[in-house]
Amino acid sequence: MPSLFFNKKNNKDFITNKSTLVKKKDLNSQIARPKISSLINFLRFSLDKKIDVFKPDKSRVITKFYRHESEEKARSIIERILALTEDEVQNVLAEVYRDFSKRHRNVNDIFRRNFMEVSHLIGQNFTISDERKLLIGSYFTMEYSIESTALFNPSLVIYPKQNDLRPGQTRVLISFRATGEGHLSSIVFRSLVIDKLNNIFVEPISKYVGTPEMILNAKYNKGLIAKKMEDIGHSNEILLGILSRLNEEFTMEEALSSIKLECENKVYHENDIKLVASKLVWLLKSNYEIIFSPLHLISERVIFPISPTEINGVEDARFVRFVDDDGQVTYYATYTAYDGLSIMPQLIETKDFHHFKMRTLNGPYAKNKGMALFPRKINGRYAMIGRSDGENLFLLYSDNLDFWYEGKKIITPTFDWELVQIGNCGSPIETEKGWILLTHGVGPMRRYCIGAILLDLEDPSKIIGRLKTPLITPDEKERDGYVPNVVYSCGSIILNDQLIIPYATSDSISHIAIISAKELLNKLLGN
């Protein structure tokens, strides 16, 4: 399979722009033109087939446990399977293997796991073969095409693994919001290699995709959970009683045992205990850990909705490579959890993109969509760009990543292409001249454009530069899609003095734009 790569002209006087060549001396005027998707290098195959998109692939399917509408229905299905002869079981199972074993890694493990979900519905008097258990599991399994609708809103970071590269090459990770049937969103990944000339190669993409295992008996911090319960308005004597029986670090199983004891004590009304207990369990399930098998390549890993807060989607992850004061590197991503009725900002934490920790973000400024973490602390504190009021951008500070109580409005909709609302397009990018903050603005006909702002390095509440016209707007070829007239990004990087911007068009497909960081800074400072 040929690699995909971006073709960058060796002649430094030119930059490829989709269908035209733009001289560098004309760069600033091209940035200022709102009708042009500026400075976009087009993708092409090594076989010289030109393309310019990351498209959704309907063949990329995961398995899900299929929960039937009632236990009665599930029991009826199991009874029919139990009535089959062993020969019939083996024949049907062989057919299932023939059709599905090559579409998924470890299909036996999938069937066993799903059998365990319904094993309690089987009577105690039944002794069943391993083959029949697997067959039952297959009847409670379904495939889900994670990218059947869209592959969009990408984010780009330097990948932690830089092995097996040639001199001058850098491996980067691009994440996407993948959307399938029912507008259910998940997070998927690809790895790219960029050389010193900013030629970009897409590394081989596996035909398999898979979801992670949830870490059982993950530890919770009692003080942190108590604070989060207080923040959502459910801290009272009942909660204190439940928590008093727990150690400073506890598991879900231990919390459920304490809740059971609280009910048995009968000090408080049963309905009051159930209300607090349901909120506590909801919160614990929304703060969880997952881990992928070492066998899963990066393109195989799918972060699919698990917790109650995100059961209808994990959306728009903004990944950032965060360097702490001691030099330790952690990858964080803010994302939007959607439960079908409301949204909640949450945080992903990982060191290696195998083991992920998900947690809720709390506080009055942890509201709405689109929080983005700075890649380092500012004056000893964590900092975020957020849009807590749904219209303006705020600079947020905190001493604790989980709680956001302090914010200052710094950017308001100003120009005609952003008068409805503005938001960020990922974490601020540090340069010696200041923080480049890519923004999105919503204008007439709900057209989304990408702009750029320059913030002061030491005091990011100060705006020291701002483009008056968009950096990227949807061109005629990019306007049509699932949501028309939208360009959107969730995170960019600077590499080899170039700003590399992955962006989506019309909530459908994704592209990459490459522009000179120096000339963008000059334009920002000129404004």
Reduce the secondary structure of 202-267 to three states and give it as a string: ECCCCCCCECCEECCCCCEEHHHHHHHHHHCCCCCHHHHHHHHCCCCEECHHHHHHHHHHHHHHCC
Q: Final residue of a domain: which of 288, 305, 322?
A: 288
Cα dihedral 78, 83, 89, 92 in deg (nearest 10): -70
Cα–Cα distance, 510 to 275 (Å, whole number): 44
- Residue spans of beta strands (DSSP E) within 412-460: 421-424, 429-431, 434-442, 448-455
Q: Final residue of a domain: which of 231, 266, 288?
A: 288
**Angle, CA of 338, 358 and 457, to the nearest 5°:** 95
pLDDT at 471: 94
At 95, which amino acid appears? E
* Residue 127 included in any domain: yes
Cα–Cα distance, 259 to 252 (Å, whole number): 11
At 340, which amino acid appears? G
Residue 56 backbone phi and psi in degrees, to 5: -65, 145
**Whether 329 and 439 share a structural domain:** yes
pLDDT at 527: 75
Full DSSP string of 121-182: GS-TT----HHHHHHHHHHTEEEEETTSSEEEEEEEEE-S---S--TT-EEEEEEEEEE-GG
Cα–Cα distance, 135 to 117 (Å, whole number): 13
**Angle, CA of 340, 341 and 343, to the nearest 5°:** 90
Task: Tell me the two tokens of residue 242.
Answer: 């439940």
**Whether 180 and 121 share a structural domain:** no
Determine the straight-line distance between the first and last CA of the chain, rounded to whole angstroms.
46
- CATH value at residue 443: 2.115.10.20
**Whether 331 and 362 share a structural domain:** yes
**Whether 278 and 197 share a structural domain:** no
**Whether 361 and 298 share a structural domain:** yes
Cα–Cα distance, 236 to 267 (Å, whole number): 13
* Residue 222 included in any domain: yes
Residue of 470, 178, 143 whose CA lies nearest to 313: 178
Q: Are 192 and 172 in contact (CB under 8 A)?
A: yes
pLDDT at 10: 31
Q: Final residue of a domain: which of 108, 128, 145?
A: 145
Cα–Cα distance, 453 to 436 (Å, whole number): 6
At 406, which helix (H) or strand (E)?
strand 406-411
Q: Are 400 and 385 in contact (CB under 8 A)?
A: no
Cα–Cα distance, 403 to 387 (Å, whole number): 15
Q: Which domain holds residue 258?
A: 214-288
- What is the count of structural domains for the chain? 3
Residue of 117, 112, 147, 145 whose CA lies nearest to 131: 112
Q: Per DSSP, what are the bridge partners of residue 31?
A: none
At 282, which amino acid appears? W
Cα–Cα distance, 526 to 373 (Å, whole number): 27
* Residue 23 included in any domain: no
Q: Are 502 and 495 in contact (CB under 8 A)?
A: no
Q: What is the pLDDT along the chain (527 residues), one digit of tens a residue?
A: 222 333 333 323 222 223 222 222 332 333 322 233 333 332 222 222 233 579 999 999 999 999 999 999 999 999 999 999 999 999 999 999 999 999 999 999 999 999 999 999 997 777 899 999 999 999 999 999 999 999 999 999 999 999 999 999 999 999 999 999 999 999 999 999 999 998 899 999 999 999 999 997 789 999 999 999 999 898 899 999 999 999 999 999 999 999 999 999 988 998 999 999 999 999 999 999 999 988 889 999 999 999 999 999 999 999 999 999 999 999 999 999 999 888 999 999 999 999 999 999 999 999 889 999 999 999 999 999 999 999 999 999 999 999 999 999 999 999 999 999 999 999 999 999 999 999 999 999 999 999 999 999 999 999 999 999 999 999 888 888 999 999 999 999 999 999 999 999 999 999 999 999 999 999 999 97
Determine the length of the chain.
527
**Whether 113 and 226 share a structural domain:** no
**Whether 349 and 435 share a structural domain:** yes
* Residue 24 included in any domain: no
Residue of 174, 184, 193 whose CA lies nearest to 147: 184
Phi-psi region of 428 (alpha: psi -120 to 50; beta: other; left: phi over 0): beta
Cα–Cα distance, 522 to 365 (Å, whole number): 33
The answer for residues whose C-beta is within 8 angstroms of residue 117's C-beta and 6 or more apart is 65, 140
For the chain, the farthest-separated pair of C-alpha atoms sits apart, in whole angstroms, at 82
* Residue 72 included in any domain: yes
pLDDT at 52: 57
Q: Exposed, middle or buried: residue 250 (CB in 10 Å: 0-12, 13-18, 19+)? A: buried
Residue of 273, 217, 202 whose CA lies nearest to 51: 202
Q: Are 367 and 337 in contact (CB under 8 A)?
A: no
**Whether 365 and 396 share a structural domain:** yes
Q: Exposed, middle or buried: residue 263 (CB in 10 Å: 0-12, 13-18, 19+)? A: middle
Residue of 462, 386, 387, 451 whose CA lies nearest to 418: 451
Phi-psi region of 180 (alpha: psi -120 to 50; beta: other; left: phi over 0): beta
**Whether 455 and 490 share a structural domain:** yes
* Residue 20 included in any domain: no
* Residue 1 included in any domain: no
Q: Cα separations (Å) of 217 from 114, 160, 214, 281, 334?
A: 20, 27, 9, 13, 24
**Whether 256 and 321 share a structural domain:** no
pTM exceeds 0.85, yes or no: yes
* Residue 386 included in any domain: yes
**Whether 263 and 181 share a structural domain:** no
Which residue matches tokens 């308001």? 412
**Whether 41 and 97 share a structural domain:** no
Q: Exposed, middle or buried: residue 181 (CB in 10 Å: 0-12, 13-18, 19+)? A: exposed
